[in-house]
Amino acid sequence: MPEADTSDRKKEYHLEKPQQSSAFFLKGSNSHDWGFQNRLARVFNPLSGKTVMLAFDHGYFQGPTTGLERIDVTILPLAQYADALMLTRGVLRSLIPPALTNSIVMRATGGPSILKELSNERLAVSVEDAVRMNVAAMAVQVYIGGEYETQTVHNMTSLVDEANRYGIPVLGVTAVGKELTRDARYIGLATRICAELGAAFVKTYFVPEFETVTAACPVPIVIAGGKKLPELDALQMAYDAIDQGASGVDMGRNIFQSDDPIAMIKSVREVVHNGMKPQEAYELYNTLKNETA
């Protein structure tokens, strides 16, 4: 029998201090379970509330596109500067060392290549396999206004149903067909549909009047980088997006196709996490670039 504790240990119960319950730091994400929120906190930095995701999943329909011919050579050195890696399961298992501790956002749809109608996608990864790969989130392309709109929305809602059972957040990715106008009205429609139908966060393109898009979307939005821009323009876009309510970037080509990808991702981080102004971030980019030249 253990001896009775006779000392006055009441002070160690801190009776004067009520237990705190704090709200989760991401908008629209307070009602999820612990595992779900913990995964979101692995994608979004809890200190800044923002994320720099590095997207290099393009090969799932584009093959070895510029900058992604050798992911082991060009992308792995960037991983340490990214909060999350957005990639396919094939690349994860074949090229990403399991000792890497970045969170993983798994591309979960696929089907058509660039040679076919892109919106004809299906789910391409099971939640069981995603759990096996310890992913932080799963990403589904949704083509609002596309030929296979309903099918892609159904891809997302089916995945949300299944992923919710395991506490895995789903990222809705708004893909814009060539025939559609990328403006706040369209992007607002697409992002809101993703959120209404259960996406935990949404990825979309930055457009003028973006603050109306973020205001009307009840969950966090991250922006895609899109086609390669001059570095200052890409930094300006990241700054404007964050300034207008985005919770981060999911950037690919504007980082890995940059003249100096490491300098670029470090500069993007300053903009996203620390609010550095675009011109200052561009000067940082040039300084870092010259250091490695």
User: Is 52 one of the binding residues for ligand R5P (CB under 6 A)?
Assistant: no
Interface residue with ligand R5P, options 111, 225, 261, 278 (CB under 6 A):
225
Which position among 10, 17, 178, 203 bears the catalytic label? 203
| Residue 187 interacts with ligand R5P (CB under 6 A): yes or no | no
110 binds ligand R5P (CB under 6 A): no
Minimal distance in Å, beta carbon 252 to ligand R5P?
Answer: 3
Indicate the residue among 30 and 62 with the shorter CB distance to ligand R5P.
Answer: 62
Contact pattern for ligand R5P over residues 124 through 163, marking x by CB under 6 A: ----------------------------------------
**Near ligand R5P by CB under 6 A: residue from 224, 246, 272, 276:** 224
Instruction: For residue 172, state whether it binds ligand R5P (rule: CB under 6 A).
Output: no
By the 8 A CB rule, do 130 and 165 touch?
Answer: no
Q: Contacting ligand R5P (CB under 6 A), which of 55, 163, 187, 194?
A: 55
The stretch among 3-11, 18-26, 91-99, 252-260 that binds ligand R5P (CB under 6 A) is 252-260
CB closer to ligand R5P, 37 vs 108: 108
Q: Which stretch, 157-165, 183-191, 247-255, 261-269, contacts ligand R5P (CB under 6 A)?
A: 247-255
Q: Does 89 bind ligand R5P (CB under 6 A)?
A: no
Decide: is 252 part of the binding site for ligand R5P (CB under 6 A).
Answer: yes
In the complex with ligand R5P, the residue whose CB is nearer, 35 or 230, is 230
- 57/260 with CB nearer ligand R5P: 57
Length reported for the chain: 293
Say whether residue 190 binds ligand R5P (CB under 6 A): no
Does 203 qualify as catalytic in the annotation?
yes
For residue 110, give every residue at least 6 positions away whose Cβ sits within 8 Å of its Cβ, in sequence order, or none: 60, 61, 88, 121, 122, 124
Joined tokens for residue 276: 């550095």
Please check whether residue 178 is in contact with residue 148, taking contact to mean a CB–CB distance below 8 angstroms. Answer: no
Residue ranges in contact with ligand R5P by CB under 6 A: 55, 57-58, 86, 173, 224-226, 250-254
Catalytic residues: 203
